[in-house]
Amino acid sequence: MSANRRERALEALARRVDLPDAPPTNASAPLDYYGKDVFNAAAIRKYLSRGAAEKLLATIQDGARLDPNVAGDVAHAMKDWAISRGATHFTHWFQPMTGSTAEKHDAFLDLNEQGEAIMTFSGKNLVKSEPDASSFPSGGLRCTFEARGYTAWDPTSPAFVKRNPKGATLCIPSIFCSHTGETLDRKIPLLRSIQALKRSIERFMTCFGVPAARTTITLGAEQEYFLVDREFYLRRPDLVQTGRALFGAAPAKHQQLEDHYFGAVKPRVLNFMAEVEEELWRLGIPAKTRHNEVAPAQFELAPTFEELNLAVDHNMLTMEILRRVAEKNGLVCLLHEKPFAGVNGSGKHNNWSATYGSRNLLDPGDDPRRNSIFLAFLTAIVRAVDLRGDLLRCSTVTAGNDWRLGANEAPPAIVSIYLGDRLTETLEQVERGVFEEYRARPKTLKIGLTTAPRLEGDDSDRNRTSPFAFTGNKFEFRACGSSQSCAPFNTYLNASVAESLDYISERLEPVAGTPRFDETLQGLLAELIKSHKRVIYNGNNYSESWVKEAERRGLPNLKTSLQALRPLLDAKNHQLLEKYGVFSAIELESRYEIFTEEYVRKIQIEGEVARDMAQNMILPVVLSEYGKLAQSLQAAQNAGLAAGIAGIKRSTETLGGLLDELQERIAALADFKTVDVENCERYIEATKALRSTVDALELVVDDAKWPLPKYREMLFVY
């Protein structure tokens, strides 16, 4: 029976001749529908009175407190707009500590006093809702007997309409807190950190005498993912339950030819991508780049950067849409950090910067040595990352990311900064208090072709191994996992940078506008660079020598996830996050509990799924194969054959050895009564050991009898 599971999947795929045609070319289409499912400025102006519209836009764009009197008008307008877009329901759309988004729909439909059906949606409905907080992770902040929790409208992220085949739902981006005001989500701390950083930037810019301007923190989140055919997925309980292949021998060909990265996208995948983009564009999510990634069946989507809070919401929606559209196309989108051992895993690069008016604070300009605002801002970041590398590392913790970090495909657990040679030289000059004229390198590249256009070379090469790299006019943090929300990383980074900027402003304020300003700034930056340059590293972060060097420099190396969560309990981090109103100590401790528990549970689920599959899918096949071999051996011996006996014996013994080992390793996993922080590492090792036996078996058992789709199928047949 099980022998044919894989064959059935392959047959189904072989029959798949129905690849849809490419959609008709209509270059103007995206402009016709871009942002149409968002209650954006255009919709606001169309559906609200001018006064109310301006008040709402001031909140969205400038963070002005919303006049409570306009909530009723806004609700009314939102309802009319949403109904015009086909909506029948509304929901507060929020981000509890489960890692995904949550929603509970209510119909606009209601009965009036005469018992007639009407469509209603009030200011009260818009502003607040009350889901049962006890059913979401709270790390001890909420018990069932005090279950009250609130979701509240976040007016800074526009409402949108989410479509389904039978209608649509008005989604209101919301925060989620306990009834005593503690955060139960990822959005509140993020918003608090954005508020703090903006204040610090404004203070910092005032020191330089720059007139007030709108401050925006920006994020562009690159999303990596895998696609596998649903036929295979459904035959892999591990993928279904854990998002990751717990077994699977590496195929002869995987990514070693480097032929997938940037390769031509297969038509079926391109169709999927186009459908994803259409949905994203309708929601005003500026999907920009799409391409094949390094591993087979791995892809990437990157949007144009946006305001941070919005970009985080948009990334959450992007993940949801990737999953849903994949399903519609007979595919499954795996957002797990390491679905397939042996090939690259998936990350989420966070590109971060800040603008002040029209000025990108991380744009070095033509000559960074003369750009004192840039130099001071950069130095503040260097200081922040040196002081808070542990928090940034903490933001990358998930059970899945463990398999990826530091494994020659993603940055190691040591957080350092890459600046490139030129900027590093510039900071060295500042430190030494010298000013050398910038010697521009010959920039035009020599290609040797008369027909090629002139190519300008970049000032510095890229360094793909650094966790936190300066990439021209932004920083790119590369350690977050593909399934993670961008919120925690950015929350910690914002607070850390805010603190460093304030440190600088405090020293500059007394001399601001005086002739002593330049000298004070020069002295201060020199001092800060000297103290914190240990965190700058332009070399190969994957190398063994860096691990030693980093240790010598005193940089933390929090190797395991459980170690990496400890900074949440650290007094120095409590001080920082409390000072900036981002987290209270209680909230941080609750997060430590949530993450630790989630980590241990995931490890336990993986072990249990692996054991179950080994016991109920692999073992029966091995037993039957072994039985057949043993019978053949017997028969051959009875027949008095001379040739072939040795061969059958060897096969039987190889299989028998692995059979014994398989049972031992299944038993070893079953021996764990509980899994907790103490024995978690040992449990992971036991699960790994079981895998190595199963993978060895995959290589010796008759291919036709192997019940699980193999790597060579999942990663190449789609």
Residues at the contact surface with Mg ion, assessed by CB under 5 A: 349
Contacts of ligand ADP in 308-367 (CB under 6 A)? 351-353, 360
From the CB of 291, what's the least distance to Mg ion, in Å?
Answer: 11
Q: Considering the rule CB under 6 A, would residue 372 count as an interface residue with ligand ADP? A: no
Query: Closer CB to ligand ADP, residue 218 or residue 379?
Result: 218
Sketch the per residue contact string, 220 through 249, with ligand ADP: x for CB under 6 A, - otherwise.
x-x---------------------------
Residue from 245, 302, 321, 479 in contact with ligand ADP (CB under 6 A): 302
From the CB of 618, what's the least distance to Mg ion, in Å?
Answer: 39
Measured from the Cβ of residue 707, the count of other Cβ atoms closer than 10 Å reads: 19
CA torsion, ordered 666, 668, 670, 675, to nearest 10 deg? -130
CA torsion, ordered 259, 260, 261, 266, to nearest 10 deg? 130
Q: Bin 365: left if φ > 0, else alpha if -120 < ψ < 50, else beta.
A: left
Q: Considering the rule CB under 6 A, would residue 82 count as an interface residue with ligand ADP? A: no
Sketch the per residue contact string, 417 through 456, with ligand ADP: x for CB under 6 A, - otherwise.
----------------------------------------
Q: How far is CA 266 from CA 273, 296, 301, in A?
A: 10, 12, 15
8 Å CB contact between 347 and 482: yes
From the CB of 288, what's the least distance to ligand ADP, in Å?
Answer: 6
Residue from 473, 632, 651, 679 in contact with ligand ADP (CB under 6 A): 473
Query: Closer CB to Mg ion, residue 385 or residue 501?
Result: 385
Length of the chain: 718
From the CB of 309, what's the least distance to ligand ADP, in Å?
Answer: 13
From the CB of 303, what's the least distance to ligand ADP, in Å?
Answer: 5
Q: Bin 557: left if φ > 0, else alpha if -120 < ψ < 50, else beta.
A: beta
Q: How far is CA 392 from CA 99, 218, 385, 416, 654, in A?
A: 18, 17, 8, 10, 48
Task: Specify the DSSP element, H or E, that contains 523.
Answer: helix 517-532
From the CB of 492, what's the least distance to ligand ADP, in Å?
Answer: 17
Q: Considering the rule CB under 6 A, would residue 180 count as an interface residue with ligand ADP? A: no
Query: Closer CB to ligand ADP, residue 152 or residue 213?
Result: 213
Contacts of ligand ADP in 542-601 (CB under 6 A)? none
Question: For residues 251 and 257, what is the distance between their CA atoms, to the nearest angstrom?
Answer: 13
Q: How far is CA 463 from CA 253, 522, 537, 539, 575, in A?
A: 27, 29, 10, 8, 34
Contacts of ligand ADP in 101-120 (CB under 6 A)? none
Nearest to residue 123, comparing CAs of 62, 168, 75? 75
Question: For residues 316 and 483, what is the distance between their CA atoms, to the nearest angstrom?
Answer: 9
- Contact window for ligand ADP (CB under 6 A) among 9-17, 471-479, 612-620, 622-630: 471-479
From the CB of 308, what's the least distance to Mg ion, in Å?
Answer: 17
Q: Considering the rule CB under 6 A, would residue 305 count as an interface residue with ligand ADP? A: yes
- Contact window for ligand ADP (CB under 6 A) among 192-200, 229-237, 466-474, 659-667: 466-474
* Residue closest to ligand ADP when measured from CB atoms: 220
Residue from 304, 514, 531, 540 in contact with ligand ADP (CB under 6 A): 304
Q: Considering the rule CB under 6 A, would residue 303 count as an interface residue with ligand ADP? A: yes
8 Å CB contact between 479 and 405: yes
Q: What angle do CA 505, 508, 510 make, to 5 degrees?
A: 115
Residue from 95, 193, 216, 218 in contact with ligand ADP (CB under 6 A): 218
Give the one entry of ligand ADP, Mg ion, none that residue 473 binds, where binding means its C-beta sits below a cut-off of 5 to 8 angstroms depending on kind. ligand ADP
Task: Provide CB contacts within 8 A for 67, sequence distance 6+.
Answer: 55
Measured from the Cβ of residue 165, the count of other Cβ atoms closer than 10 Å reads: 5
- Contact window for ligand ADP (CB under 6 A) among 20-28, 186-194, 241-249, 467-475: 467-475
Task: Provide CB contacts within 8 A for 394, sequence distance 6+.
Answer: 488, 492, 558, 564, 565, 567, 568
8 Å CB contact between 353 and 473: yes
Residues at the contact surface with ligand ADP, assessed by CB under 6 A: 218-220, 222, 302-305, 351-353, 360, 471, 473-474, 476
